[in-house]
Amino acid sequence: MPVATATRPIAVIGAGTMGSGIAQVFAASGRQVYLGDRDEPSLRRGLASIAKSLDRLIKKGALDAAARDQVLGRIRSATAGLPLSECALAIEAVPERLDLKKAVLQELDKALPPDAILATNTSSISITELAAATSRPSRVIGMHFMNPVPVMPLVEVVRGLETSEETVNSTMEAARAIEKSPVLVEDRPGFVSNRVLLPMINEAVYALQEGVATREAIDTVMKLGMSHPIGPLALADLIGLDVCLDIMEVLQRGFGDDKYRPCPLLRQMVAAGRLGRKSGRGFYEYPDS
């Protein structure tokens, strides 16, 4: 980001898996981070997740206890009252619902200074539509981080119709400053990552539904035959089957093409509460979740 704003705090709104990971990487880079979530238990879980992630780095020898304490000390969390007027950048990381994201962005728009960038971690929703709900569409941009955020190097930077070149450049710099690799894409349904990935996952679910092969066989074919580090069904469990369903619905609506129709088995599993790792059961079972 420009020199004038590179040292100012950043805000992350939403302390779930993605929000806590985003807060961690910015704090690890030396930035003051304000982590907000209206739900106190969610906030506590997010902070615990950050501490656990840092502890894993200590066990690997990539971090020492003093550095861990410094990272945690740079994160200030609250359900309300954070000094957002100090921030140069705010990133919303709330669940993938258009109405919720619009509401959060509108609140941030009112609280942030005029020069602040308003970023969204949406994985599929139109940046242009979200930006139109604010008074600063030229300062709104997508920063789509990958899960797990501390490990995955990619940030998909998504330019909306009104996003300014200055905002794009500042966001790319902000991503590089936390040692991520930003890739600029245009605002189309699913962007690049999920436009390519989710139809593959959806097709794997169809193959399972039709009895083409077992879950293990489908994942093994993709791992051993296509050099994927994780099979599509196991990856769906990691992402969250509800999130996968939401993205497929965005793709289907956005393109109006039945090739993006969510598999009925995917809908059924979400309806049953089998959401993957976060619920303890998806295509696989996770007894320790």
DSSP assignment string, 204-259: HHHHHHTTSS-HHHHHHIIIIIH--SS-HHHHHHHH-HHHHHHHHHHHHHHH--GG
247: number of Cβ within 10 Å: 28
CA angle 35, 135, 254 (to 5 degrees): 85
What does each C-alpha distance from 203 to 75, 121, 188, 246, 283 come to in angstroms?
40, 25, 21, 15, 14
Task: List the catalytic residue out of 49, 77, 121, 123.
Answer: 123
Helix (H) or strand (E) holding 132: helix 127-132
Q: Are 87 and 109 in contact (CB under 8 A)?
A: no
Distant-in-sequence, close-in-space partners of 46: CB < 8 Å, separation ≥ 6? 15, 16, 19, 20, 23, 35, 37, 77
Q: Among this protein's residues, is 166 annotated catalytic?
A: no
Per annotation, catalytic residue among 92, 121, 126, 156: 156
Q: Catalytic annotation on 156?
A: yes
Catalytic residue at 123?
A: yes
- Measured between alpha carbons, how far is 193 from 123 in angstroms, rounded to an integer? 8
Catalytic residue among 77, 144, 170, 193: 144
Catalytic residue positions?
A: 123, 144, 156, 194
